Amino acid sequence: MPRARETGVSNAVEVRGLDVLFEARGRRAQRTALAALDRGESRDALREASGVVAGVVDASLDVAEGSIVVLMGLSGSGKSSLLRAVNGLNPSARGSIGIKTAQGMVDVCGLSTRGLRRLRRHSLAMVFQQFGLLPWATVAENVAFGLSVRGESRARRDAMVKHQLELVGLDNWAEAPIASLSGGMQQRVGLARAFATEADILLMDEPFSALDPLIREHLQSELLALQARLGRTILFVSHDLDEALRLGSRIVIMDGGRIVQDGTPEDIVFRPANDYVANFARHVNPLSVLTARTVMQPLLSTAVDANGFAAEIDIDCPVGELLALTAKSDTPLLVLDQGAPAGRVDRKAVLDALAERMGSR
């Protein structure tokens, strides 16, 4: 079940009990398949029996405004199917997908063709693994695509394209044909095209998977920098845990069409829900995920004397920083959760936490 960690922030996307079926021809086939899934029948059994492929089964998920949530899983786990249901590229068989718009929450599943088109033009934008750029058009024309589809004036379009190209560092390439760009540059065009519509919600379907590792890391940093400036809501599909840990404020792991765990990067790595999740996390370096939240010893009483501590740190402080701080002083650090004292960290706690996780590898 989704956790309401970001209290006080409203959700941009709310998925409830979503099922996505493929190859289910007709209402009856769909009903039969859903009934079978409700009985707990496995995806494989369903496919054997009726040919229906269950892409997503009973998925519920919240994406808080301004956050990056990463959908992760092996191929065929349903992560892309879920993402594509959010903007209606995959039809949903059951459930609801609430999208926050200027007119309030809108359920994608109950929309007319027109309503869906409106939503896609104004509230949702998408970035694709295969880029999906028009090869016969220039870079500028591609960035302007969403704007021209919804009929923005030439002047507005040009201004927006110029701005977006500057953001992704391609302002000198506006008139270049797409084919003359490298893969990394092409995906920057894909990002600029998605950001250009000013949609609040961005859907990213393994946008960096087709790029080589160095470029991929580079674009991840650029995405984080862009996100820091623009503060959009991003639902990101990845099969790479390192990428997920880097980008995600929350990670949702899928297996066989179902969500098996939904938590913070630390939850996924140190408190995996099952072996499938643990397998993903096996090779993760604890230095890159561990924070004060896991390392600290909770305070027994909230009445603390601030003088007994060397410094105050936030609960999301990475372990690397804790290591540096505790190395300098024998006095413990005070951990604050939203400004309130929550725990203490000393040198031994840091070393114990690291030793425990390093040892288990």
Partner 1 sequence: MEALTDWLTAYRLPIGETIADFVDFLNTHAQGGFDLVSDTLEGLVEGATDALLAVPAPVVVVAVTALAWVLQRRIGFTLFAAASLLLIVNLGLWEATIETLVLVLAASVICMVVGVPIGILAAHRPRLNAAIRPVLDLMQTIPTFVYLIPTLILFGLGVVPGLISTIVFAIAAPIRLTALGVSNVPASLIDAGDAFGCTAWQRLWRIELPHALPSIRAGLTQCIMLSLSMVVIAALVGADGLGKPVVRALNTVNIEKGFEAGLAIVIVAILLDRLCRARAKPA
Complete DSSP assignment for 259-323: EEEEE-HHHHHHS-SSHHHHHHHTT--GGGT-BHHHHSEEPS-S---GGG-S-EEETT-BHHHHH
**Where does residue 298 rank: exposed (0-12), middle (13-18), buried (19+ CB within 10 A)?**
exposed
- What angle separates helix 347-359 from helix 319-328, to the nearest 10 degrees? 140
Residue 133 binds partner 1, judged by CB under 8 A: yes
Nearer to partner 1 by C-beta: 147 or 226?
147
Residue 145 binds partner 1, judged by CB under 8 A: yes
Sequence-ordered strand ranges (E) for the chain: 11-22, 53-64, 68-72, 94-101, 104-107, 124-127, 201-205, 233-238, 250-255, 258-263, 297-298, 312-314, 333-337, 340-345
**Structure token pair of residue 252:** 């949702």
CB 203 to partner 1: min, Å: 8
CB 275 to partner 1: min, Å: 34
The stretch near partner 1 (CB under 8 A) out of 20-28, 129-137, 230-238, 304-312 is 129-137
Residue 163 binds partner 1, judged by CB under 8 A: no
The stretch near partner 1 (CB under 8 A) out of 113-121, 216-224, 268-276, 323-331 is 113-121
The stretch near partner 1 (CB under 8 A) out of 46-54, 64-72, 123-131, 238-246 is 123-131
Binding partner 1 by CB under 8 A: which of 149, 159, 225, 327?
149
Nearer to partner 1 by C-beta: 98 or 146?
146
Count of residues engaged in binding partner 1, rule: CB under 8 A: 26
Residue 280 binds partner 1, judged by CB under 8 A: no
Q: Which residues contact 285 (CB under 8 A, 6 or more apart)?
A: none
Site string for partner 1, 61-90 (x = CB under 8 A): --------------------------x-x-
CB 53 to partner 1: min, Å: 17
Q: Which residues contact 151 (CB under 8 A, 6 or more apart)?
A: none
Residue 130 binds partner 1, judged by CB under 8 A: yes
Instruction: Give the three-class secondary structure for 338.
Output: coil
**Structure token pair of residue 49:** 């029996």
Residue 225 binds partner 1, judged by CB under 8 A: no
Q: Give me the residues that bind partner 1 (CB under 8 A), please.
A: 87, 89, 117-121, 124-126, 128-134, 136-137, 145-146, 149-150, 193, 197, 203
